[in-house]
Amino acid sequence: MRRHPSPGLVLPDFRRRRFVQGLAAGGVVAGLSGIGGSAWAQHAGHGAGERAGQPAPAGTGSAPVLRGTEFDLVIGEALVNYTGKPAIATTINGLLPGPTLRWREGDTVTIRVTNRLREATSIHWHGIILPYQMDGVPGISFAGIAPGETFTYRFKVAQSGSYWYHSHSGFQEMTGVYGGIVIDPASGQETMRADRDHTVLLSDWTDEDPMRILTKLKIQGDYYNYNQPTVVDFFRDASRDGLKQALDKRRMWNQMRMNPTDLADLSSATLTHLANGVTPAGNWTGLFRRGETVRLRFINGSGNTFYDVRIPGLRLRVVQVDGQDIEPVTVDEFRFGPGETCDAIVEPRDDAYTLFAQSMDRTGYARGTLAVREGLAAPVPALDKAEWLTMTDMMGEMTGHGGHGGMQHGAMPMQGMDHAGMDHSQHAMAPADPLKVPSKTARHARTEYGASTDMRVDMARTNLDDPGIGLRNNGRRVLTLADQHTIGGAMDARGPGREVELHLTGNMERYTWSFDGVEFGKSTPIYFKHNERLRVILHNDTMMTHPMHLHGMWSELEAPDGSFQARRHTIPVQPAQRISFQVTADALGRWAWHCHLMLHMDAGMFREVVVA
């Protein structure tokens, strides 16, 4: 059985408040690697809200915007203080986050990255289509940038939209090496125009050494989970559902050795949530003038946090996801995970509005303000109550049929089971086009039946209209994958020539994460044939949501009937969910494919893709 956190681990209230809200003056204190802390003071606020033809008013704590075709980035260390305790961050040009890079579609950009750390570093251009040698993944696309060296990235910008960049070395992304990218269309005109433009990069910070965190989780997978089921919860269930049902419910979770509150590996017990590098208490502010429309380019640059974003009093007109224009859809709220971007246009009428981004586990939030002048604030909502995972989250479609429905624990594979990653084309009783509709039959690889996997889902759900745990029936209109329709449709008119199925697997007690039960380092590459069109099925056999990022190629999300849905570079896959997308393997070379939760990637949910 998994051990629960000891009472001595709980933070005192005043300390917990510092983690949740941060310090008003939190941020970069001083540079430690030749880039002075003055860079923060000099650039804070510039480029926060750009407006064509005239200077933008200042915004609190925003990174500078660097424009042009040539850029110099220096990765070093800086002293930061977000919680009252000084800590060392890795920074870009002495900033956290790094400068926002503004490019133009069609230009060739040159970025010189100098390493002033004592360890190797790298920059990955997330969601950018480019030659694999420029992708910035050490050990796959290049050797990395050694201490004291400068690496020059050079590539033609073949797209427009909102993206971001970050280190792909060790845990440097968690410790501060990230920044936004805005690419203007070649025409110079956005499809959906707004009067003002703000980049809102949400991230998370921990004072702890990420490697120490990983060690703690290896020992106790729910170390940071304080939303454990309690005696009070049991009596509440008993009074509402009856004693027998409450006992059956608790017995079932115990038998499965799982926790219905495992929504996130890290909580605000260690995380402080940031908006453009500013704590909630610091209150990042983006300015606007009365009567203006405002485009908010939300980027989830966190290492660990799914954010649920809303602006009380304003509706969000979502116009772009992952840098690709979608048919506009108006919502109250959206969820996005690490790696994803979401652009929304708002029409503020009052003087101040709160940008509220609560974590999926409901222990903390990032916060900022849209205002007509500095110093204003609007009410900050209370955190929603954390919800428990349901049986549908755990077992997919086979709920309510007795036993454990569509989930296995420790069963042996059927004879003749294919290994995932191989060709899974259907043959028997096949219609005229056997690949017209994505397969719904789970194919568990033999490698899933080992110590690295603690559960398997047989009857995964395939619907795209579920906003996810904590957002269902909350009285707000929440964006789902089903709402997203990329303008222009699929990039390739061909149907898939084959189907590749991969299972997202893990063992929470051991804190291992993998594809098909095989951690990176023990796995072999997946091969795509150059220029082939194929379907990929991601089948989540775990109880956590994974933001899956395939480098170098677009992932064209499909509806369950095989019709095109949306072009994405990072696709969130919910617990017990089976999602499919099509890929045109038009990018020769070696590419990374991984979960964008940093600790999951480091623990093994990472695979190499070779296009040849």
Coil, helix or strand at residue 321: strand
Task: Note whether 7-191 and 391-468+488-611 share their fold.
Answer: yes
Question: 400: exposed, middle or buried (C-beta count within 10 Å: 0-12, 13-18, 19+)?
Answer: exposed
CA distances from 418 to 289, 360, 518, 575 (A): 60, 35, 15, 23
φ, ψ for residue 574, nearest 5 deg: -75, 165
Outline where DSSP puts E strands in 508-576.
512-515, 526-528, 533-540, 546-550, 555-558, 564-568, 570-573
**Superfamily (CATH) of domain 7-191:** Cupredoxins -  blue copper proteins (2.60.40.420)
Give the residue carrying structure tokens 């380019």: 297
Other C-beta atoms lying within 10 Å of the C-beta of residue 558 = 24
What local confidence, expressed as pLDDT, does residue 231 receive? 52
Residues 490/564, Cβ–Cβ less than 8 Å: yes
358-369 residue pLDDT tens? 999 999 999 999
Give residue 222's pLDDT: 75
Q: Which of 113, 86, 85 is nearest to 32 (CA)?
A: 86
Residues 306-330: tens digit of each pLDDT: 999 999 999 999 999 999 999 999 9
* pLDDT value at residue 43: 34
CA distance 488 to 326: 9
Distances (CA, A) of 247 to 123, 294, 442: 51, 51, 31
- The tokens for 49 are 């809200």
The helices-and-strands tally (H runs, E runs) of the chain is: 7, 34
What are phi and psi for residue 231, nearest 5 degrees? -60, -40
Question: Which residue type sits at 258?
Answer: M
266: helix, coil or strand?
Answer: coil
So what's the pLDDT on residue 241?
A: 73
Report which secondary-structure segment, H or E, holds 154: strand 150-156
With 0-12 / 13-18 / 19 or more C-beta atoms within 10 angstroms meaning exposed / middle / buried, residue 152 is exposed
Residue 24's pLDDT is 78
- Answer whether 265's CB lies under 8 Å from 597's CB: yes
Q: What's the CA gap between 261 and 259, in Å, rounded?
A: 5
> Over 373-390, what HEC string results?
CCCCCCCCCCCCCCCCCC
Q: Residue 611's CB: how many other CB atoms inside 10 A? A: 21
Closest CA to 65 of 81, 44, 89, 87: 44
Residue 321 CB burial class (10 angstroms; 0-12, 13-18, ≥19)? buried
- For residue 420, give the H/E element and its range: none
pLDDT of 438-457, one tens digit each? 999 999 999 999 888 988 99
The pTM of the whole model exceeds 0.85: yes
Alpha carbon of 518 to those of 310, 407, 510, 595, 611: distances in Å? 38, 19, 14, 14, 21
How far apart (Å, rounded) are the C-alpha atoms in residues 342 and 469? 20
Compute the Cα dihedral for 603, 229, 573, 367 and give only its sign. negative
Helix (H, G, I), strand (E, B) or coil at 300: strand
Looking at the DSSP assignment, which residues form a beta bridge with residue 343?
A: 297, 320
* Structural domain boundaries in the chain: 7-191, 391-468+488-611
Q: 183 and 104 in contact (C-beta within 8 Å)?
A: yes
Question: Which alpha helices (DSSP H) does 243-318 contain, by range?
Answer: 243-255
Give me the CATH topology for the region 391-468+488-611. Answer: Immunoglobulin-like (2.60.40)
pLDDT for 247 equals 64
Which long-range contacts link 5-12 to residues 24+ away (Cβ below 8 Å)?
Answer: 5/220, 5/222, 5/223, 5/224, 5/225, 5/226, 5/228, 9/223, 9/269, 10/226, 11/269
Low-confidence stretches of the chain (pLDDT < 50) are 1-12, 34-48, 51-60, 234, 253, 398-405, 409-428
What pLDDT sits at residue 15?
A: 58
How far is residue 447 CA from its own chain's centroid?
27
293 contacts 348 by C-beta, under 8 angstroms: no
The sheet with strand 578-584 has its strands ordered as 512-515, 499-507, 533-540, 578-584, 555-558, 564-568
How many Cβ atoms sit within 10 Å of the Cβ of residue 282? 23
Q: Are 593 and 607 in contact (CB under 8 A)?
A: yes
φ/ψ region of 40 (left if φ > 0, alpha if ψ in -120 to 50, else beta) reads alpha
